[in-house]
Structure 1
């Protein structure tokens, strides 16, 4: 299986998306949302593990992985776009690609925050929600101070070489392997800044108790980027969600070693 990359215009934004046609109308297409500054190629191994035929999709599953503005192959947006606007654009992309169809959604890290927003705005279309190593927004449990400093220091985004070195350091701390490192494409300063701005002041906490679709929560005990406390907080806000807990592997465990989490996610998607 190989991904087809296309530029799609939706919600006033042009976004490159990695597309995989599962050719199976019985299984809902799967929208996968990436971490901050990440490109779709980083999510390909996990996506392929979820796309192949299995109990949840006997003939395979269609996958959509959009690059946010300024990330991967997507151009920068002309203005700052907050979570609501990004959610509208991604929902519009799914309508353009799979008109009128319900879809499952899995969000990793920053993408998990956007996934929560989409589950609220498209409550009649999202059928299952997977939240991997993510947060409900403010208030935030304390993370590794060195990681937070690099993420929120504007100086890190001015020099492209410094930005690349910074992200590679974060990938290494998060548990990335050499294969994952090779897939990384440095985001633009504007693209990364917009994602940080969208997360600033945003929270899904008041909305989460009203999410009625099945939810899977994936947390890693030694996550230095999004502490395990966020996983616990989400469990309190979504008390009936299914929990998938990993003892080790770091923040990028789901992307670097998808075999550790894909069986449980496939079982969740098949339920």
Structure 2
């Protein structure tokens, strides 16, 4: 599928030390990941692209154009415009699944990999059994998704705000997180194929075994109270990938970089050193 020219926000740094940041959603944009990563400016050249159909990148593509492989193709084209050297890749949530696909498709382009608030292993159906607080915190978002009066970007935006108490663990971090959400340019380009059941799975098949075979230095960075992807899966994946290490942050939910920005950035910086 033909690549799409992406909107990219950049922080200056040495070209030989480039970090590609892949956002999640996918109908969000990159802006909620600017902090604390922009503190790396000067040490590392950081690139925050908006995926196809997201944020300021082109949308209006046919429904079949929104697939994980198409998004990875765009990112590889972006890397190709930078030269032939390897880069570091950080994928967050859904972006973490795309980061795995990118590494498997072009391992020579990846120096180090960070899979943040995501998973390498399939999530079991009973992964969150016995955690009633999760059900309570996620109830408001579930009601938004079930609301027949909402659609398009209004739906994705409303769901993000309703899901804030589930995605951020510390109450003290909620106001700052909601301020970030207010700056996100939400779209709904990926929502159509998702609802139609035509969006292919983003998690690669046998991802752990295939990543283990690559031997890429990999950081599995996670919040202990993540209500989207269980933190325990990061530990299990690290045990199966010899070159991977799991860093589980206490008092942090799915948006671990908001709950614990200092420790989160310290873990990223140490891994990229």
Q: Hey, what does 1:19 align to over in structure 2?
A: 10
The 8 Å contact of residues 219 and 246 in structure 1, kept in 2 or not, is answered as yes
Preserved contact between residue 56 and residue 185 of structure 2 (Cα < 8 Å): no
Distance 2:121 2:144 in 1: 15
Q: Is the 8 A contact 1:104 1:126 kept in 2?
A: yes
Equivalent of 1:183 in 158, 180, 183? 180
How big is each residue's C-alpha offset from its partner over 1:96-141, in whole Å with a ceiling of 9 and x where there is no partner? 1x11121000111111111111111111110000111111264545
Flag structure 1 segments of 5+ consecutive residues without an equivalent. 1-9, 53-59
Match among 99, 123, 147 for residue 115 of structure 1:
99
**1:137–1:83 Cα change, 3 Å:** farther
1:82 match = 67
Structure 1 residues 33-44: aligned runs within 5 Å:
33-36=22-25, 37-44=27-34
Is 1:269 the counterpart of 2:254? The answer is: no
SS in 2 for 1:213: coil
Structure 2 Cα separation of the partners of residues 183 and 115 of structure 1: 23
Task: Find the counterpart in structure 2 of residue 127 from structure 1.
Answer: 111
Instruction: Flag the structure with higher helix content.
Output: 2
Note the C-alpha offset of 1:156: 8.4
Task: Summarize the Cα distance change of 1:102–1:163 in structure 2 as closer, same or farther, 3 Å threshold.
Answer: closer
CA contact 1:171–1:252 (8 Å) conserved in 2: no
Are the aligned partners of 1:107 and 1:130 in contact in 2 as well (CA < 8 Å)? yes
Q: How far did 1:230 drift?
A: 2.5
The 1:127/1:200 distance shift into structure 2, 3 A limit, reads closer
TM-fit CA distance, 1:14: 3.2
Is contact 2:19-2:89 (8 Å) kept? yes
Alpha-carbon distance, 1:245 to partner: 1.5
Partner of 1:199: 201
Residues 195-249 of structure 1: per-residue CA shift (max 9 Å, x gap): 7824367533442221211111112111112221331332233243122111222
User: Which structure 2 segments of 5+ residues have no match?
Assistant: 129-133
**TM-score normalised by the chain length of structure 1:** 0.80
- TM-score normalised to the size of structure 2? 0.79
| Cα pair 2:231 2:248 within 8 Å, conserved | no
Question: 1:220 is matched with which residue: 193, 218, 223?
Answer: 223
